[in-house]
Amino acid sequence: MRKVIMGNHAVSYGVRACDVKVLSAYPITPQTQVVELLSEMCASGEIDAKFIKVESEHSAMTACVGASAAGVRAFTATSAQGLLLMHEVLHWAVGARLPIVLANINRAVGPPWSIWTDQNDSLSQRDVGWLQIYCESNQETQDTIVQAFKIAETVKLPVMLVLDAFFLSHTFEIVDILEAKDVRKFLPPYVAETKIDVDDPHSFGNLGSPSEYFELRYMIQKAMEEARDVVKDVDIEFKEHFGRGYGVVHPYRCDGADVILVTSGTVASTTRAVIDEMRDEGIKIGSLKIRLFRPFPVEEVYEVLSKAKKVAVIDRNISFGHHGIFFQEIKSALYGRTDVPIFGYITGLGGRDVTPKVIREIADRAVSDEKQERDINWIGVKV
Amino acid sequence: MGEKITFKSYKEMPINAMSIADMTWNLTGSWRNIRPYYDFKMSPCRLGCPAMEDIQRYIFLVTEKRYEEAWGAIIENNPMPAVTGRVCFHPCMDKCTRKDFDQAINIPAIERSLGDMGLENRDWMKKVDASKKEKVAVVGSGPAGLSCAFYLARMGYQVAMFESEKALGGILRWGIPEYRLPNDVVDRVISQILGSGPITVRAETTVGRDIGLDELEKEYDAIFLGLGLMKSRSLGIEGEKGKGIEPGLEFLKKVNSGETVSPGKRAVVVGGGNTAMDVARCARRTGSDVTVVYRRTMNEMPAIKDEIEEAEKEGVHFHFLAAPKEVVRSGGKLAKVVFQEMELGEPDESGRRRPVPVEGRTFELEVDTLFTAIGEQADLTGIEKKVECEWNMIKTTGEAGETSSARIFAGGDVVTGAASVVDAVAAGRKAAGKLDRIFTSADEPAVEEPKTVGIEEINTAYFHQTKRTLVPRIPVEEALKGYLEINSGFLPEQLEAEADRCFSCGVCNFCDNCWMYCPDVAIVRLEDSYEVNYDFCKGCLVCVVECPRGCISTREEGK
């Protein structure tokens, strides 16, 4: 069945199909409709889950940790300050190896108070050990939720879906709705490897001395490395079931491209329109969307970018005191393997529009600039 | 609990931080690595009391207005709280934790209130009948003898008390002036003790003279000697025998018997102990100008500090670092006394600095009566041939007052030298307990070092700083008019107020703090105690911190 729905509801529909048993969230714009629709689905019996109302995002994530530790699927959604309030418990979910799925609607962090999009909220959770997948369309969002549970339960790490506030969360698109009965064939019922069980009592989350802690962290990294393949394999399997796949990166018209623009989120779609326009003008340019951010798809990125003469990274985020975060990641991925110059552009912070005109300006500069003058090229800032 | 596991590789480890072993031995997992448990200690005041009175307990019972039980709690260790509440030197107060916070609890005043209630409420003392075949002779009816007789009688033994005087009480009756301890109180205490069980009295019978220890041994299964020290020590100077020089104890005995005494215009008391203070203050009540002459300084005075202060308040003068050297008589009357000036030399075996004469330095005082109060001696006539004595005291070989003779025990001043009522009470009780164990062939109780708490274990956030409740006293000018008791005892509201100040160190008084604060609702309230439900206690130890009085201890899990 195809429906015209908003991005937030695409999240809800994805969750609806996954036999999730515990939902817990605290309302925050621009995420609210995600759990609003889910709570209605719970109330109507459309999904058989417990919806736990809480007083904060910290508690929402804690409820998910408890549910997941008890061996059931758990889901939550949040934005910005909410995600930051969860921070401590995000670590817990990783350390306890709990396959929780979270949808974060990218919202700029206050102050100044903002409800509009940028990526600093999710990217500031880069190192906690959650997988991060950045979505571009409502269809991809719904489908990625289903993939996320499968990935999470395979590698035993939590997965965070990320979508842009308003540009995606509140934008209506046609979505081919997934039904639980079909999804079940792809995503079998969840059987936890370890769980809290009164008939087999163990202590969880206990003290770990230096003689064990290190190894447990080693195992998390190994799981992350394994996840690079798992994300790809799950995507392929999903495509076999439902005819749609997204890859871990999405190269667009990169064959023979001298310049490649690196993007993420909804900026990727806008960029592709600009690529088409410039290709029509005979400019050899392409784009690469980064879908999987953690674990970072180093090989796929190298494969595409090493063939270009210039790389331009568009960041809707900033690591204060250094530079754009995707820019850092790309540089780190290519370090020592290619001499291709990499340019970093920061734009669209706090929800400022990243229009085709803005991207064209970036592309033109990338094409004409011979030498990198500085790491950060600010686009659109009133200096 | 399983053995310690050491992983050789991450492959042997669980995927997350979880115990491999079954955790039913500790349902909170490794959360609780320290276990709190109720561990009531012994309050420091009790440790400070020679008689080991359960002070915390009777004060707690007072706060609950359970006066009969409170009195009963004292009686377990001391049969005469009405006496000790008046005259004890209260070492308990020196140990009181509250002194490190504001001021020590007025324990003797509380004890006295309960003691007086026990005399008023005659039905509180339940009479015990003879239930054992053994008979014990108790010689001397001072605090040691009364205590020993009382505790033996409580256990059903038949006691015969022997007393030289017509009236019982020993030092309580003859040695302590009525303004501190009225005769009426002594009478009622003795009557209560004698009425409490199978105790018979043979007054005006001096053991060793009128009846021999050998005879007593034939008739009785054991003997307790609580003879006391009833003779004043002599000064050992020229002219000591004669008019104008009087042993302090004899003077006190006259005063307590209601005899008229007239020490004259100028009285001098030689000595620095409690007898000296009593003599000086009694002499003041006859209108004499009284000077206490002591060979050391005030710091070395063995008298109770309160007594020294009272004497000063009543106008007694003190002259330190002097000792009588020579008595000068004129016309058969005492005219003056020559005193040798002293200075403090090296410490002696008591730890106090020894007084030594300052060569060539003397002074004279015009004196009508000179009282000697430099110590008391026992009269061991007829005793010393039966039990081993040393320095005119009975030598004991054990804690319970065992002597060189198997079934003869001794206690009180005749063993220790001049000590206190409470020490004598303790000695009498210990001997009674030991005799019972001998008669019943019972094992000696295991001696454990009692655990106690100090100010560090008290959560002082729960207490307000308050002043000690002082006992109402009659003014000095009233006091000097006669022998009216100076200390008139707590009013009921004062008793309550002072009892409320008690920290109840180390002993639960059911304040419910642990129960209220436990974040895991793991404290279970039982009828008259609490317990920890270890299925839920995560070992946060909030209860330990929030217990105002240090009743909860901790130990490591699995150890």
The pLDDT of residue A378: 94
Q: Is the pLDDT of residue B517 over 90?
A: yes
pLDDT tens digits, one per residue of B422-465: 999 999 999 999 999 999 999 999 988 999 999 999 999 999 99
**CA pair distance A205, A227, nearest whole angstrom:** 23
pLDDT tens digits, one per residue of A241-283: 999 999 999 999 999 999 999 999 999 999 999 999 999 999 9
The pLDDT of residue B558: 75
pLDDT tens digits, one per residue of B276-323: 999 999 999 999 999 999 999 999 999 999 899 999 999 999 999 999
ipTM above 0.95, yes or no: no
Contacting residues of A for B27, CB less than 8 Å apart: 201
Residue A24 token pair: 């817990």
At B19, the pLDDT band (50, 70, 90 cuts) reads: confident
Residues in chain A: 383
Q: Are A217 and A127 in contact (CB under 8 A)?
A: no
The pLDDT of residue B31: 77
Mutate to test the interface with B, among A196, A200, A202 (most CBs of B within 10 A): A202
Q: Is the pLDDT of residue B1 over 70?
A: no
Contacting residues of B for A216, CB less than 8 Å apart: 10, 13, 16-17
| Strand-pair category, B530-532 with B523-525 | antiparallel
Q: How far is CA B17 from CA A44, A77, A94, A101, A352, in A?
A: 38, 26, 11, 21, 44
Q: Is the pLDDT of residue B4 over 90?
A: no
Q: Are A124 and A84 in contact (CB under 8 A)?
A: yes
Task: Tell me if B30 and A207 make a contact (CB, 8 A cut-off).
Answer: yes
Q: Is the pLDDT of residue B259 over 80?
A: yes
Kindly state whether A224 is in contact with chain B, defined as any CB-CB distance less than 8 angstroms: no
Contacting residues of B for A215, CB less than 8 Å apart: 7, 9-10, 13
The pLDDT of residue A300: 97
Mean pLDDT along residues A49-68: 97
Task: Tell me if B17 and A194 make a contact (CB, 8 A cut-off).
Answer: no
Q: Is the pLDDT of residue B169 over 70?
A: yes
Task: Tell me if A205 and B17 make a contact (CB, 8 A cut-off).
Answer: yes
At B353, the pLDDT band (50, 70, 90 cuts) reads: confident
Task: Tell me if B19 and A202 make a contact (CB, 8 A cut-off).
Answer: yes
Task: Tell me if B23 and A193 make a contact (CB, 8 A cut-off).
Answer: no
| Residue percentage of chain A with pLDDT more than 70 | 99
At A169, the pLDDT band (50, 70, 90 cuts) reads: very high
**B-chain residue closest to A155, CA distance:** B15
Task: Tell me if B29 and A206 make a contact (CB, 8 A cut-off).
Answer: yes
Closest CA to B148 of B408, B383, B346, B330: B408
Q: How far is CA B467 from CA A301, B453, B473, in A?
A: 80, 22, 17
H helical segments located in B345-420: 413-416
Half-sphere exposure of B306 (CA within 13 A, CB side): 13
The pLDDT of residue A171: 97
The pLDDT of residue A208: 84
Task: Tell me if B16 and A201 make a contact (CB, 8 A cut-off).
Answer: no
Residue B152 token pair: 């033996």
Residue that is written with structure tokens 């400022």 in the block:
A352
| Residue percentage of chain A with pLDDT more than 90 | 93
pLDDT tens digits, one per residue of A100-145: 999 999 999 999 999 999 999 999 999 999 999 999 999 999 999 9
The pLDDT of residue A372: 67
Q: Is the pLDDT of residue A302 over 80?
A: yes
Looking at residue B116, its amino acid is: D
Task: Tell me if B15 and A193 make a contact (CB, 8 A cut-off).
Answer: yes
A-B interface: how many C-beta pairs under 8 angstroms?
67
State the nearest Cα–Cα gap between A155 and chain B, in angstroms.
11
**CA pair distance A12, A20, nearest whole angstrom:** 11
| Strand-pair category, B34-38 with A101-106 | unpaired
Mutate to test the interface with A, among B4, B13, B18 (most CBs of A within 10 A): B18
pTM for this entry: 0.73
At B546, the pLDDT band (50, 70, 90 cuts) reads: very high
Mean of pLDDT over chain B: 93
Strand order in the sheet with B353-366: B322-330, B333-347, B353-366
**A-chain residue closest to B16, CA distance:** A96
Task: Tell me if A202 and B22 make a contact (CB, 8 A cut-off).
Answer: yes
The pLDDT of residue B351: 81
* Number of Cβ atoms within 10 Å of the Cβ of A202: 18
Mutate to test the interface with B, among A97, A203, A213 (most CBs of B within 10 A): A203
At B2, the pLDDT band (50, 70, 90 cuts) reads: low
**CA pair distance B434, B392, nearest whole angstrom:** 25
Task: Tell me if B30 and A96 make a contact (CB, 8 A cut-off).
Answer: no
| Residue percentage of chain B with pLDDT more than 90 | 82
Residue B17: which of A201, A206, A211 has the nearest Cβ? Answer: A206
Name the A residues in 176-215 with CB < 8 Å from any B CB: 193-194, 200-208, 211-212, 215
Strand order in the sheet with B245-247: B245-247, B369-372, B266-270, B289-294, B317-320
Contacting residues of B for A193, CB less than 8 Å apart: 15
**B-chain residue closest to A195, CA distance:** B18
Q: Which domains does chain A have, with CATH numbers?
A: 2-242 (3.40.50.970), 249-378 (3.40.50.920)
Task: Tell me if A206 and B31 make a contact (CB, 8 A cut-off).
Answer: yes
pLDDT tens digits, one per residue of B79-118: 999 999 999 999 999 999 999 999 999 999 999 999 999 9
Residue A43: alpha-carbon gap to chain centroid: 28
Q: Which domains does chain B have, with CATH numbers?
A: 21-40+508-556 (3.30.70.20), 44-124+453-500 (1.10.1060.10), 135-230+379-440 (3.50.50.60), 234-376 (3.50.50.60)
**CA pair distance B225, B383, nearest whole angstrom:** 9
**CA pair distance A310, A305, nearest whole angstrom:** 8
| DSSP assignment letter at B182 | -
Highest mean pLDDT among A140-154, A356-370, B18-32, B222-236: A140-154
Residue A136 token pair: 């571009």
